[in-house]
Amino acid sequence: MGVRRMTVAQAIVRFLAQQYVVRDGVEQPFFAGVFGIFGHGNVTGLGQALEETGALKYYQPRNEQAMVHTAAAYAKMKNRLQTFACTSSIGPGATNMVTGAAAATINRLPVLLLPGDIFANRLPHPVLQQLEHAHSQDVSVNDAFRPVSAYWDRIYRPEQLLSALPQAMRVLTDPALTGAVTVCLPQDVQTEAYDFPERFFAKKVWRIPRTSPADTELEAAAELLRAARRPLIVAGGGVIYSEASAALAEFAERFGVPVVETQAGKGALPWNHPWNAGPVGVNGGLAANRLAAEADVVVAVGTRLSDFTTASMTAFQHPDVKFIGINVAALDAFKLGALPLVGDARATLAALGDKLAAAGRKPSESYRERVAGLKAQWDAEVDRLRTERAGERLTQANVLGIVNEAAGPKDVVVNAAGSMPGDLLKLWRPEDPKSYHLEYGYSTMGYEIPGGLGIKMAAPERDVFVMVGDGSYLMMNTEIVTSIQEGCKLILVLVDNGGFQSIHGLQTSSGSPSFGNELRFRDAGSGRLEGDYMPIDYAANAASMGALALRADDEPSLREALRKAKEADRTTLIHVTVDPEARVPSYDSWWDVPIAEVSEQESVQQALAAYRDAKTRQRYYY
Ligand SMILES: Cc1ncc(C[n+]2csc(CCOP(=O)(O)OP(=O)(O)O)c2C)c(N)n1
Ligand SMILES: [Mg+2]
């Protein structure tokens, strides 16, 4: 067996460049490249290896957290079949990636993180940026990645790569297990040489199977569904990752089952599909939430069933409601006491459909009429919210409607935190499964622009509309520079409402006076942050990084700015100001956010009473 002498870092780069995946007969390289910021912890190791081998394309971000978001967004856009590796130095460069790792793992998106680590030989310790522990020398800041990683490892000896990297690939490419995979690389080990077997660098194709549940389980599920009077499907992100839209539409039509959507699942069916009853849960619409409340059998497909989907366990109120969980991940399939169908969404929907047809299920005409009636009502409500009113300030809902009209059916909208995720879920009308991209697992402020970059890199033929709140923009905007550097055009729509209006709304509706959520000057009199709104020139900020920058404050100026942005040859930011008070209401839903049990303020006491009352609707499903 031939061997080849190279450094650990060189071996990693050469190995990664040879990893491929295949699903449905389509083969592709798993890594599109490497993002990295260099420091003493990786420049002479992975930096040297990337430069000399040239085996993987290198990209230079502005911030380590951002590069992980970019990698995750890219992976999401590629239905988890391709991603990036991310290399950082030791210390702050590494820990900057922890937030990105958590976001990727929560959203079940593959990213490979290669943080530099302190010396394995310990001779020069403590090194610059090393956090020492009095109780152990076997701990570094990189241990902070353990709880946020789907797989975690640290390489002390070169030959450990021979088992660590295949394990890392196993987890990255397994749809049930995937997330952030972290392989920590002590800075001395990265540069150490070893005689690696040649075979380690041969092309390797990881097969992604479409697994099906056992026949007996499918039959039990078909039996439950056959007799259901008000069945309902909750479509999550797994439907999209599995490319199961056609299978879902067929199932819904064939058996008369309405589909309601989560943030990750929105777009699985086009908004105007007759069986798409719209979004469900805390930010759901009235059609979906009413159907959920009365459903007797709920089929949860490819969803984590987060509190936003279950309305904190109040969405499903039928006294005998039963659940069927279709999911590649057993963790999710078993939730809500469901009959678990552990398998790929597309394969399982098809197999369950066959069983259900054999069991003789027929669609009910009266249920179809009820769904159609509710859907028509909801569509009219969305029209109403999106339509701007003459003489009034633009609302965020108007902005979303206008941007949606400017976007083509294949264009992508991206967002993550604030009041926009809820409004987008209600108001955006996707026609394509990859046109709606919300990071609402970790809801990370700052994901928007790096995420938009990842989407554009994955789908250069689509325009990417990055909807970003003023708060989120201030938290992380510097990937604008990277978008200019790479010629990846983004259309940024910055919605300026004077700060954290989502949390401000939550605060005041929970009985508290305004405190700490708006972007205001400190008031000399009260000493609190309740002076005037701070004027921030976001357009000038974006322009300083090389973007085209425009301003809009009414419908005609926004439509004109969007027209210019679509024509522009580079990243364009539109700074649009909206009425901070105009909020989209909620529809028959509730979110569990606890209220102070002791307060002198009457408004808080009232909120507590309302909270306790609402909590009585919370259900436990076993
Ligand atoms: C990194 C991070 N920190 C804090 C939060 C909590 N949080 C959720 S929304 C929000 C405010 C977002 O402000 P902005 O982007 O302006 O959107 P708006 O609420 O005004 O719609 C905050 C602080 C978060 N989601 N992410
Ligand atoms: Mg805001």
| Alpha carbon distances (Å) from 482 to 257, 453, 571 | 45, 8, 10
* Closest to 30 in 3D by CA, of 80, 92, 64: 80
Tell me, what DSSP letter sits at residue 511? T
pLDDT in tens, 34-62: 999 999 999 999 999 999 999 999 999 99
pLDDT at 231: 98
Q: Answer whether residue 193 shows pLDDT above 80.
A: yes
pLDDT at 358: 96
The percent helix, strand, coil of the chain (3-state, each to 5) is 40, 20, 40
**Residue at 183: amino acid letter:** V
pLDDT at 390: 79
pLDDT at 392: 86
Q: How far apart are the first and last CA of the chain?
A: 56
The response to whether residue 418 sits with its C-beta less than 6 Å from ligand 1 reads yes
Computed over every residue of the chain, the mean pLDDT equals 97
pLDDT at 331: 97
Q: How far is CA 263 from the centre of its chain?
A: 9
Q: Answer whether residue 189 shows pLDDT above 80.
A: yes
What confidence tier does 1 reach under pLDDT thresholds 50, 70, 90?
confident
The response to whether residue 470 sits with its C-beta less than 6 Å from ligand 1 reads yes
Q: Where are the beta strands (DSSP E) in 527-616?
A: 548-552, 572-577
* Closest to 503 in 3D by CA, of 590, 417, 585, 584: 417
The response to whether residue 443 sits with its C-beta less than 6 Å from ligand 1 reads yes
* Residue at token pair 């369950």: 352
Paired tokens of 430: 């996707």
CB 288 within 8 A of CB 382: no
The response to whether residue 396 sits with its C-beta less than 6 Å from ligand 1 reads no
Tell me, what DSSP letter sits at residue 521? P
pTM given for the model: 0.98
As a whole number, mean pLDDT of residues 20-31 equals: 98
Q: 540 CA to middle of ligand 2, Å?
A: 18
* Closest to 46 in 3D by CA, of 252, 249, 192: 192
pLDDT at 238: 98
CA–CA gap between residue 444 and residue 321 (Å, rounded):
33
CA–CA gap between residue 97 and residue 69 (Å, rounded):
9
Q: Sign of the CA dihedral 396, 397, 398, 402?
A: positive
Q: 472 CA to middle of ligand 1, Å?
A: 6
Q: Sign of the CA dihedral 612, 613, 619, 620?
A: positive
Q: 473 CA to middle of ligand 1, Å?
A: 10
* Residue at token pair 């949606």: 404
CA–CA gap between residue 462 and residue 17 (Å, rounded):
27
* Closest to 55 in 3D by CA, of 88, 22, 85: 85
pLDDT at 498: 97
Q: 500 CA to middle of ligand 1, Å?
A: 6
Report helix, strand or coil for 486.
coil
The response to whether residue 517 sits with its C-beta less than 6 Å from ligand 1 reads no
CA–CA gap between residue 53 and residue 57 (Å, rounded):
10
pLDDT in tens, 504-551: 999 999 999 999 999 999 999 999 999 999 999 999 999 999 999 999
The response to whether residue 494 sits with its C-beta less than 6 Å from ligand 1 reads no
For residue 365, count other CB atoms closer than 10 A to its CB. 9
**Which residues lie below 8 Å from residue 269, measured CB to CB, with a gap of 6+?**
235, 245, 248, 249, 252, 259, 261, 275, 276
CA–CA gap between residue 320 and residue 33 (Å, rounded):
51
Q: How far is CA 124 from the centre of its chain?
A: 41
CB 202 within 8 A of CB 16: no
Q: 552 CA to middle of ligand 2, Å?
A: 16
- Ligand 1 closest atom vs CA 469: 15
The response to whether residue 477 sits with its C-beta less than 6 Å from ligand 1 reads no
Q: Which ligand is nearest to the CA of 475?
A: 1
Q: Please, what is the Cα angle at 272 between 267 and 276, to 5 degrees? A: 65
Where does residue 383 rank: exposed (0-12), middle (13-18), buried (19+ CB within 10 A)? Answer: exposed
Q: Answer whether residue 446 shows pLDDT above 90.
A: yes
What confidence tier does 388 reach under pLDDT thresholds 50, 70, 90?
confident
Q: 123 CA to middle of ligand 1, Å?
A: 44
Q: Answer whether residue 603 shows pLDDT above 80.
A: yes
**Considering all CA atoms of the chain, what is the largest pairwise distance in Å, rounded to the nearest integer?**
79
Q: Which amino acid residue places its CA nearest to atom 4 of ligand 1? A: 445
Note the residue count of the chain: 622
pLDDT in tens, 558-595: 999 999 999 999 999 999 999 999 999 999 999 999 99
Q: Which amino acid residue places its CA nearest to atom 7 of ligand 1? A: 418
Q: Which amino acid residue places its CA nearest to atom 16 of ligand 1? A: 471
Paired tokens of 281: 């849960």
CA–CA gap between residue 573 and residue 550 (Å, rounded):
6
For residue 482, count other CB atoms closer than 10 A to its CB. 24
Q: Answer whether residue 436 shows pLDDT above 80.
A: yes
pLDDT at 389: 83
pLDDT at 205: 98
Helices (H), 345-469: 345-359, 365-386, 396-406, 420-427, 448-458
**Residue at 352: amino acid letter:** L
Q: How far is CA 536 from the centre of its chain?
A: 28
Q: Which ligand is nearest to the CA of 467?
A: 1
pLDDT at 622: 81
CA–CA gap between residue 74 and residue 53 (Å, rounded):
24
The response to whether residue 472 sits with its C-beta less than 6 Å from ligand 1 reads yes
pLDDT at 290: 98
The response to whether residue 577 sits with its C-beta less than 6 Å from ligand 1 reads no
583, 586, 592, 593 alpha-carbon torsion, rounded to 10°: 10
